[in-house]
A and B are shown apart, each in its own frame.
Chain A
Amino acid sequence: MSQGAAILLPKESGGRGKGAGAMTTPGNNGGAGFGPARPPVQRGAGVLAPPRSPAPGAAPGRRPGQGRAPGRRPEHAPGRLRARLRRVGNAPVRRLWSLGSVLALTAVLFGVLAYVQVVQRSDAATSVVEHSQPLSDDAAQIFRTLADADTTAATGFLQAGDETATVRNQYNGDIRTASTLLAQAAADATPADPGQREIQQLSSQLPTYADLVGVAGADDRVGYPLGGAYLRYASAQMQNTMLTEAQKLYQVETGRLHQDYSDSRSLPWAAIGLGLVALAALVRAQIRLYRATNRVFNIGLLLASATVVLALGWLTTAQSLAASDLGQSDARGSAPLQVLNEAQIKALQCRGAENLNLVARGSTDIYETAWDTVSKELAGPQGYLPTAASMTSADSVAQQAVTAAEADFTTWQRRHDTAMAANDTGDYDTAVSDTIGTPGASTAQQTTNAAFVQLDASLNTAIAHERANVDQLAARGRGDTTGLAAGSLALAVLAGFAALWGINRRAAEYR
């Protein structure tokens, strides 16, 4: 910087006083530069003064030769002076041009950096909307369909010979959806994707699971308890292996979503920093020029500064706005969405445990224990439903749906307790009909399944709402930076040209 500034000062300025020379004596700035050791401003002011506008602040009464560099003898002969000027006179111009280049380069670098950083952020924001949020949703959906398949398989099993078409279709639909989603996820994922392993494993385990459920049903239909053992085995594969992998896939995808959110929300500090440096350089150059020429304005440099200020202002404001909108999208949409997804998953696990408890026919109490554990995770004091309720407190639509879901769970818990009480007193048939209903009976039965379906629907309403929130706010966040990348680059390039132009005008005064 100080080097760049130093070149402003011609080492030899004797011949410059074409018109105003009468007033001021060619002084010597001695190439002292703008360093701290530099003599007072007034000393060289006259020297640099352009012919048409004598520096008003030129120190009066200064004697010729004063301040000249040591060892330099005064030149008085005009011819020699001119010759000498021609010889060395390029040096100040070169220095000016060097300064101009540095200013222009800094400005352009600022523009390029701003461009790159803005594009990175808007890519991350685009990724949130078009890539990581949908992938996270898909992973949640994979988990949901798998868990639902398991629950539905148990329902079909409990209906045994009376398995309804609805239940069979739902199970088949779940298996189909899960394999479609897995195929899609496999196609979307690059080999380096962290979720790749889970996707492959799930894809290979799903047909095996479906086979086991098929065997369970076949054994059950001929009256073998082995069918129940198969279903419990299939379900254990699902719960302990496949759902664990699906959960991991969901976590991986959600982790990426969080990464994208934080990438898109971070301010482009490097670009802002470089912009400030460019601005400081421009300001400093103008101060030096002012000190050298006593002219307040260099139009080019002023324009350059204004342009950089504009670009910086736009960059900072737009990115801050985008960060705020994306933050809102994360906090008001994505975060509740994840809690609601988890709630839906827990509800499915509860429902599965309830069914399997009946399938197990009292041979184990692990499913009743699972119900107790998972239902606490769902609706206990720190559970997903109360968390979702507090997260959506500012959003009446979501709040309403979550409150409905909480009420649905209360109903479900009550019916569950009734069904379990029946089971505990040996009334297995009542427990089964309290849970999955009686085939052929009206659909409005007060079963635990009906309560679950209601809860699921309430959660779906809340999820759809939050999903829309995510999209809307993320879209707004992306909209905040529309044109910013190209715009800030263009402004910075303009600033570069303006700086060069300003310096050029200054340099032209040497000719």
Chain B
Amino acid sequence: MRIVILAATALLLGTVALPASSAADPRPETLTLTTAGTPPRSAPAGAPGCTPADANVSLTPSLDDSGKDVQRIIKRGKLIAGIDTNSYLWGFRNPATGQLAGFDIDLVHALAKSILGNADDVEFLSVPTADRISALQSGEVDVVVRTMTISCDREQQVAFSSPYFDAGQEVLVPDSSSVTGYNATLKGKRVCAATGSTAIAFLQQKSYGSTIVPVENQLDCLVLMQLGTVDATITDNALGAGQVAQDPTIHLVGGLMDSETYGVAMKLGENDLVRRVNAVLDQFRADQWDSEYRTWLLGAMGASSGPPTVTYAG
């Protein structure tokens, strides 16, 4: 049901956003994002001529709070943020304290502090991967901060902030594995990836003779890898780092398979909020990013070249 509604909405949005292309291709690629088992094409078919570099361009930052969407949040007194609670280092619940923690969580607190004056004026809402876009479209959440990759494809459905993290797909294997990366050493191996992820799209395009084992959540891959049910996992390196942090006997191999960036997602058309968030991100990248990286990611990912460079337009 949810998929049907989503598909209908996506279709509608796609048609509205792409009057020129709708005649030629009435079925937007965005459909595949929410359909379990059908991964997105690795070559995103967003707006005509959209490149990953174009997708990273966001609206010029502004600290103006008078826009209706920023006002909605201020009047409510709470920022409603869609997050993940199962991504170690990014967004997870510490069982000892019961508190949410991670890089993404800290970013949400920074947003709340800037917009509302109090870092704790946040309502965290755990959103499944497949529901990220619909949660924004229905207005259930104001922002999604959930290791969400900016893509031309998704920009048809949601608005993205400027990028706040550089990432990419990478292969994750146990230390004893003979697999050296996304290459011929995968032959005959069982490779795990989350349903609907970029990793699955890679594997379906070229599997190197491996067997794909799809799961609901990338973390399920670690369970299967520990139980010996799969031989390798493909996920993005940031989430992979979270897995390595939970099991030191596995490691990332072969380098990044592609280049991705994470952004804060908002409802399409809420431009005042996008500008406001970009203003917070500018500050975050300048003042807070390095210490956050050190706190959460340095141990698992090693030294960083710093936050992504950003481009604004409009």
Binding site for B on A (CB under 8 A): 160-161, 215, 219-221, 223-230, 232-233, 360-365, 424-426, 428-429
Closest Cβ of chain B: how far from A167's Cβ, in Å? Answer: 15
How far is B226's CA from A226's CA once the two chains are assembled, in angstroms? 11
Q: Do the beta carbons of B125 and A426 come within 8 Å of each other?
A: yes
Q: How many residues of B contact A (CB 8 A)?
A: 33
How far is B87's CA from A362's CA once the two chains are assembled, in angstroms? 12
Which of B86, B127, B131 touches A229 (beta carbons < 8 Å)?
B86
Which of A229, A362, A365 touches B222 (beta carbons < 8 Å)?
A229
Q: Do the beta carbons of B95 and A226 come within 8 Å of each other?
A: no
Q: Do the beta carbons of B93 and A428 come within 8 Å of each other?
A: yes
Given contact pairs A223-B95, A429-B98, A229 touches B220 in the complex (Cβ within 8 A): yes
> In the complex, what residue of chain A is closest to B218 when comparing beta carbons?
A229
Which of B85, B95, B125 touches A220 (beta carbons < 8 Å)?
B95
Given contact pairs A362-B125, A362-B126, A225 touches B131 in the complex (Cβ within 8 A): no
Q: Do the beta carbons of A229 and B219 come within 8 Å of each other?
A: yes
Closest Cβ of chain A: how far from B126's Cβ, in Å? Answer: 2
How far is B84's CA from A220's CA once the two chains are assembled, in angstroms? 17
How far is B126's CA from A364's CA once the two chains are assembled, in angstroms? 9
| Residues of the B chain whose Cβ atoms lie less than 8 Å from the Cβ of A425 | 123, 125
Given contact pairs A226-B223, A362-B85, A365-B131, A161 touches B95 in the complex (Cβ within 8 A): yes
Given contact pairs A161-B96, A229-B222, A229-B223, A362 touches B88 in the complex (Cβ within 8 A): no
Which of B93, B223, B247 touches A361 (beta carbons < 8 Å)?
B93
Q: Do the beta carbons of A362 and B127 come within 8 Å of each other?
A: yes
Given contact pairs A161-B96, A223-B96, A362-B127, A228 touches B86 in the complex (Cβ within 8 A): yes
How far is B200's CA from A420's CA once the two chains are assembled, in angstroms? 33
How far is B243's CA from A223's CA once the two chains are assembled, in angstroms? 13
> In the complex, what residue of chain A is closest to B125 when comparing beta carbons?
A426
Q: Knowing that A223-B95, A360-B86, A362-B84 are A-B contacts, what are 18 other residue pairs whose CB atoms are under 8 Å apart, sorted by A's residue number? A: A161-B95, A215-B226, A221-B95, A223-B94, A224-B246, A225-B93, A226-B223, A229-B86, A233-B220, A233-B227, A361-B93, A363-B84, A363-B85, A364-B128, A364-B216, A426-B80, A428-B85, A428-B126
How far is B85's CA from A360's CA once the two chains are assembled, in angstroms? 9
Closest Cβ of chain B: how far from A232's Cβ, in Å? Answer: 8
Closest Cβ of chain B: how far from A217's Cβ, in Å? Answer: 10
Closest Cβ of chain A: how far from B120's Cβ, in Å? Answer: 12
How far is B125's CA from A6's CA once the two chains are assembled, in angstroms? 99
Closest 9 CB pairs of A and B: A362-B126, A361-B85, A160-B95, A426-B123, A224-B246, A229-B219, A225-B86, A226-B246, A225-B92
Question: Could you pull out 11 A-B pairs where Cβ atoms are within 8 angstroms?
Answer: A215-B226, A223-B96, A226-B219, A226-B247, A230-B223, A365-B128, A365-B131, A426-B124, A426-B126, A428-B93, A429-B98
Closest Cβ of chain B: how far from A218's Cβ, in Å? Answer: 11
Q: Do the beta carbons of B217 and A227 come within 8 Å of each other?
A: no
Closest Cβ of chain A: how far from B239's Cβ, in Å? Answer: 11
Main secondary structure on B side of the interface with A? mixed
How far is B59's CA from A345's CA once the two chains are assembled, in angstroms? 55
| Residues of the B chain whose Cβ atoms lie less than 8 Å from the Cβ of A227 | 95
How far is B246's CA from A221's CA once the two chains are assembled, in angstroms? 12
Given contact pairs A233-B220, A426-B80, A363 touches B86 in the complex (Cβ within 8 A): yes
Binding site for A on B (CB under 8 A): 80, 84-88, 92-96, 98, 123-129, 131, 216-217, 219-220, 222-224, 226-227, 242-243, 246-247
> In the complex, what residue of chain B is closest to A224 when comparing beta carbons?
B246
Which of A215, A363, A365, A429 touches B217 (beta carbons < 8 Å)?
A363
| Residues of the B chain whose Cβ atoms lie less than 8 Å from the Cβ of A424 | 125
> In the complex, what residue of chain B is closest to A158 when comparing beta carbons?
B95
Closest Cβ of chain A: how far from B97's Cβ, in Å? Answer: 9
How far is B129's CA from A224's CA once the two chains are assembled, in angstroms? 19
Closest Cβ of chain B: how far from A436's Cβ, in Å? Answer: 13
Closest Cβ of chain A: how far from B136's Cβ, in Å? Answer: 15
| Residues of the B chain whose Cβ atoms lie less than 8 Å from the Cβ of A224 | 88, 246
Closest Cβ of chain A: how far from B135's Cβ, in Å? Answer: 10
Q: Do the beta carbons of B217 and A229 come within 8 Å of each other?
A: yes
How far is B216's CA from A425's CA once the two chains are assembled, in angstroms? 24
Q: Do the beta carbons of A225 and B80 come within 8 Å of each other?
A: no
Closest Cβ of chain B: how far from A413's Cβ, in Å? Answer: 22
> In the complex, what residue of chain B is closest to A232 when comparing beta carbons?
B220
Closest Cβ of chain A: how far from B122's Cβ, in Å? Answer: 8
| Residues of the B chain whose Cβ atoms lie less than 8 Å from the Cβ of A360 | 86
Q: Do the beta carbons of A361 and B96 come within 8 Å of each other?
A: no
How far is B242's CA from A361's CA once the two chains are assembled, in angstroms? 17
Q: Do the beta carbons of A233 and B223 come within 8 Å of each other?
A: yes
> In the complex, what residue of chain B is closest to A219 when comparing beta carbons?
B246
| Residues of the A chain whose Cβ atoms lie less than 8 Å from the Cβ of B123 | 425-426
> In the complex, what residue of chain B is closest to A228 when comparing beta carbons?
B86
Given contact pairs A219-B246, A363-B128, A225 touches B87 in the complex (Cβ within 8 A): yes
Given contact pairs A220-B95, A361-B85, A429-B98, A225 touches B124 in the complex (Cβ within 8 A): no
Of the listed residues A161, A227, A228, the one surrounded by the most CB atoms of chain B closer than 10 A to its CB is A228
| Residues of the A chain whose Cβ atoms lie less than 8 Å from the Cβ of B246 | 219, 224-226
Of the listed residues B84, B94, B217, B224, the one surrounded by the most CB atoms of chain A closer than 10 A to its CB is B217
| Residues of the A chain whose Cβ atoms lie less than 8 Å from the Cβ of B87 | 225
How far is B247's CA from A219's CA once the two chains are assembled, in angstroms? 10
| Residues of the B chain whose Cβ atoms lie less than 8 Å from the Cβ of A160 | 95-96, 98
Closest Cβ of chain A: how far from B108's Cβ, in Å? Answer: 11
> In the complex, what residue of chain B is closest to A216 when comparing beta carbons?
B223
